[in-house]
Amino acid sequence: MDKVSKLVLSPAPHLRGNASINRDMYIVTLALLSPCAGAVYFFGLYVLLMLAVGVLCTVLTEYAAKLMRRQPFHMDGSAIVTGILLVLVMPPRTPLWIIAVGAVFCIAIAKEAFGGLGHNIFNPALAGRAFVTLSFAGALTRWIAPVSSLVADGVTAATPLSEGFITALTNGVPYKALFLGNVAGSVGETSALLILIGGAILLAFGLIKWQVPVFYIGTVFFLSWIMGQDPLFHILAGGLMLGAFFMATDYVTSPLTTRGKIIFAVGAGILVVVIRVLGTMPEGVCYSILLMNAVTPLIDRYVRPKPYGHMPTTRKGA
Amino acid sequence: MKIHVLQALGLGRRTGVHPPARKLTRARAIEHMPLPSKVILPLQQHIGACAKAVVKRGDEVKVGQVIAESDGFVSAPIHATISGTVKQITTIASPITGQPVLAIIIESDGKDEWIELTPADPQNLSNEQILTRIQNAGIVGMGGAAFPTHVKLKPPPQKHIHTVIVNGAECEPYITADDRLMLEETDRIIAGIKIAMQVLSVTTAHIAIEDNKPRAIERIRRALAQLSPPGRITVVAVPSRYPMGAEKTLVKSILHVEVPEGGLPMDVGAVVQNVATLAAVSDAVTLGKPLVERVVTVAGMVSESKNLLARFGTAASSLIELCGELDTSVDQVIFGGPMMGIAQPSYDSPIIKGTNCVLLKRSDFRDEHSCIRCGRCIDSCPMGLMPLMFVNYDKKREYEALPHYHIANCVECGACAYNCPAYIPLVSYIKNGKTELRKRGIK
């Protein structure tokens, strides 16, 4: 054969599926558009400004961090996801500078300082949220009721969870409002319906395992029920839905195996109820996931798939 | 039942991947390719000891004449695949390892003169005689691994063998060599199965074929129905899910047991043989014919993909020339399928006993990213491993940790790397880890 072109040697496999980090991240971004739209609808155009600042700051911080670490910057979409998630767990009238500070913390401290995508121990968005909550507690307690007009100023109101279970009971629990999202709360957490739509997208593309949200939400449901609370109220109010579909499912900070993921989800569910019912804070989703993030390496050490043909007697070492 | 409940909960394992089948040549009949003017025959075409050359430069040889003898039990002789003159004995890059290997180059006299063959009726042969005929014919596993067949057909006496599993799964994309053979050479395959059953003195054989080959399933079922007396040979349609054709995956699908870790199918009473191997066994035992040719699928970026019957030692370029226009952007020649095949350094790499496919493609190199711990490699691993851990420990050079994650279990099927969103070449890391462990003498 007179062909002289050089042949390229490469290791098998020579064929790849369509999975890529970019594809994963942009599907998550697509799924997040649903709760984002709800946030703008319920809390006004200011949310758009919050989203813009959040995403811009996370992406720029990642770019700067990569420059400083002399590593190539990949626009893989993970910073965008972090930026959006951070904004979605913020109160409606959060000053933009607080969002900027949170976004920088998310990427610079929670992600890049640990080694970048794939190496962080804590979910960056939740770490950022916890950081700003602890740092600027005063500025972050101004909850407002949803507005009918897209631009009008809100009326200060209590979130269903901070209002407490007793008040909710006496006034009758507004299940429908909680499900649709027409209540006070963090901008992206109020509408269970819109989060479920986003979650359905993630499930349809096979990005998340159904076991995570089901066991997480299920644990909260049954445990709050056992503890004499209103289980439906507990799963609809607060950040549980968003956390269950978009944060407890984070690849990097949750266990590798399906069994590990179930342990993670059940553990987080127990923590949510413990914090909400026995603790002093009204909401526990953020800390429940962060605490389980810390346990993830331990879960991965002990929960492993059973190797093909493995006999218990031939077990060797760790 | 237990399995179903577990699977519903997502706890049972449904492993493997679904690469696109791309079996473009499934309807193309096997074409006998013209005799090559020269053949290059590497002395190692199998797993085990390299064969030793018994001819020298200038010798006249006939087709089927032994030109290199097997060295030891786990080895196989090499035969001349054309008649002519030994032109040279030299080193070439091995099509299997890429490492230098001795090869005998024969120039054709164009006569295709065969040695005298001695046919026999398998019924009148002892097991020992049958095994000798198989060994002398140089038969090795033709599904790709190329393990000497006579060794597999002679398990140690303490192993009780009850089933022959015939591997017609052909789970790699593109390849249709076995598919065509099952359609066109059904009788030879069945004769080979009967011989294998006779040697192993078993009464049960299962022919496993992926359910994306309905015509082959149908054809063999019909042929089996006409057998008299009807033996206990059945066709089992297995799900088309890569790597179904890997021995251990196949054993689990057919017998619903797992081969113990570090063991072989014979530890659970099964011997797995590829369909093409069994057709060759039939030729060797009944006709006394040595293994000199095989069906090769030529596929990928050529205008006319084909199934060709090619003599061993034929340069890949000769096969490609018969398949129409070669796309100008081709820069990789793969021997074997796209999942486990080996990239060749030259268009002139010779077809050998384990070469079921010549795949022409454009290279698709992608930069490796950090692992995002998505767990897809774990979900797709047919051996129940955590492939990403091998990469982690390889990078840290902590090779001692690899056995804790059962690295020896890995069959290098590539399902993990196929599914990796970070483009990590997991199989390369795993092979490197195995090499490092071998260097350190750790098992």
Point out which residues pair with B294 in neighbouring strands. Answer: B310
Once rounded to an integer, what is the mean pLDDT over residues A127-148?
A: 79
Closest Cβ opposite residue A74 in set B336, B369, B371: B369
The class level of CATH for B33-116+290-361 reads: alpha beta
The domains located in chain A, with CATH, are 22-301 (1.10.3430)
Of the candidates A13, A256, A259, the beta carbon closest to that of B338 is on: A13
DSSP A140: G
3-class SS of residue B265: helix
pLDDT at position B49: 84
Range scoring the smallest mean pLDDT among A128-142, A279-293, A304-318, B335-349: A304-318
Neighbours of B260 (CB within 10 A): 15
pLDDT tens digits, B355-385: 999 999 999 888 999 999 999 999 999 999 9
Q: What pLDDT is attached to residue B365?
A: 87
Contact between B146 and B273 under an 8 Å Cβ cutoff? The reply is no
The rounded Cα B258 to chain-centroid distance in angstroms is: 21
Question: Which amino acid is present at A266?
Answer: V
- A16/B343 CB distance under 8 A: no
Q: Which residues of A touch B258 (CB under 8 A)?
A: 308-309
Largest CA distance in chain A: 88
Across the range A202-213, mean pLDDT stands at 96
How confident is the prediction for chain A on average, in pLDDT?
88
Give the model's pLDDT for residue A137: 80
Are B404 and A3 an interchain contact pair (Cβ–Cβ within 8 Å)? no
* Nearest residue of chain A to residue B318 (CA atoms): A1
Give the pLDDT confidence score for residue A165 in this predicted structure.
Answer: 45
Probe site for chain B from A3, A9, A14, A24 (most B CB atoms < 10 A):
A14
What is the pLDDT confidence band of residue B6, given thresholds at 50, 70 and 90?
very low
Closest CA to B105 of B49, B37, B51, B35: B37
The domain defined by B122-287 folds into Rossmann fold (3.40.50)
List chain B domain ranges. 33-116+290-361, 122-287, 376-440
For residue range A234-268, what is the model confidence (pLDDT) as tens digits? 999 889 999 999 999 999 999 999 999 999 999 99
CB B64 within 8 A of CB B97: no
In a mutational test of the A interface, the residue from B249, B261, B400, B428 whose CB has the highest number of chain A CBs within 10 Å is B261
Distance CA B26, CA B170 (A): 12
- How is residue B78 annotated by DSSP? E
d(CA B188, CA B194): 10
Per-residue model confidence (pLDDT) at position B361: 95
What mean pLDDT value characterizes chain B?
Answer: 92
Q: What is the mean pLDDT of residues B334-363?
A: 95
Tell me what the mean pLDDT of segment B325-349 comes to: 94
Q: How confident is the model at residue B10 (pLDDT cuts 50, 70, 90)?
A: very low
Over 90: is that where the pLDDT of A160 sits? no
| Average pLDDT of the residues in A14-31 | 95
Q: Chain A contact for B388, CB < 8 A?
A: yes
B20-42: pLDDT as tens digits: 989 989 999 999 999 999 999 99
> What is the predicted pLDDT for the residue at A316?
45
Residues of A in contact with B173 (CB under 8 A): 15
Cβ-nearest to A256 among B248, B336, B373: B373
Distance from CA of A126 to the nearest CA of B (A): 18
Please state, in angstroms and rounded to a whole number, the distance separating the CA atoms of residues A46 and A151. Answer: 8
| Res. A149 pLDDT band, cuts 50 70 90 | very low
In this predicted structure, what is the pLDDT of residue A1?
47
Q: Is A315 on the interface with B (CB under 8 A)?
A: no
Q: What is the pLDDT of residue A279?
A: 85
Q: Which of residues 277-336 of B touch A (CB under 8 A)?
A: 315, 317, 320-321, 326, 330-334, 336
More confident residue, B389 or A179: B389
Mean pLDDT value across residues B278-304: 96
Q: How far is A34 from chain B (nearest CA, A)?
A: 23
The CA–CA distances, whole Å, from B222 to A119, B219, B280, B415 equal: 57, 5, 22, 34
What is the helix (H) or strand (E) element at residue A126, kind and residue range?
A: helix A124-135
The residue-averaged pLDDT of B106-125 equals 94
Instruction: Name the residue facing A15 among B173, B259, B425 (closest C-beta).
Output: B173
Does the structure show a pLDDT above 70 at A14? yes
CB distance B375–A1 less than 8 Å?
no
Any idea which residue has 């401290």 for tokens? A109
Chain A within 8 Å of B400 (Cβ-Cβ)?
no
User: Considering only CA atoms, which of B197, B193, B237 is closest in space to residue B218?
Assistant: B237
Partners of A8 on chain B (C-beta within 8 Å) are 331-332, 343, 363, 365
pLDDT band at B396 (very low <50, low <70, confident <90, very high): very high
Determine the distance from the C-alpha atom of residue B245 to the mean position of all C-alpha atoms in its chain, rounded to a whole number: 9
Q: What per-residue confidence (pLDDT) applies to A171?
A: 59
Query: What are B420's two structure tokens?
Result: 């990796």
Supply angle C-alpha A200, A206, A207, rounded to 5.
Answer: 85
CA distance B211 to B23: 13
